[in-house]
Amino acid sequence: HHDCVLNGWDRTYKWQIQGAMMVTGCPWWDFVSYNPYYKNPLFIFRVERDEELIKQLTDGIAEMEKAVKDIKERAE
């Protein structure tokens, strides 16, 4: 929470957030951090949908599906 207050939202969650938007179709997602001991305990940052990142996700998923299919076919 401290890092979010000082530096903005934690970008290590970028792929998770974009993946959630890919699945749900949402145009934005709120990144939320909470610590009851802070003067302002709630940190909210709106993350906009990034079609380029979502394309990378869908391309990666397609590659993974093909690799799994190929492995299964070789195992049969």
Question: Strand, helix or coil at 48?
Answer: strand
Each residue's pLDDT expressed in tens, for the chain with a length of 76 residues: 888 877 888 888 999 999 999 999 999 999 999 999 999 999 999 999 999 999 999 999 999 999 999 999 999 8
For the entire predicted model, the pTM comes to 0.80
Residue 36 contacts residue 43 (beta carbons within 8 Å):
no
Cα–Cα distance list, 49 to 41, 46, 57, 61 (Å): 26, 10, 13, 18
Q: What is the CATH number of domain 2-75?
A: 3.90.320.10
Cα–Cα distance list, 27 to 17, 35, 44, 53 (Å): 11, 27, 16, 13
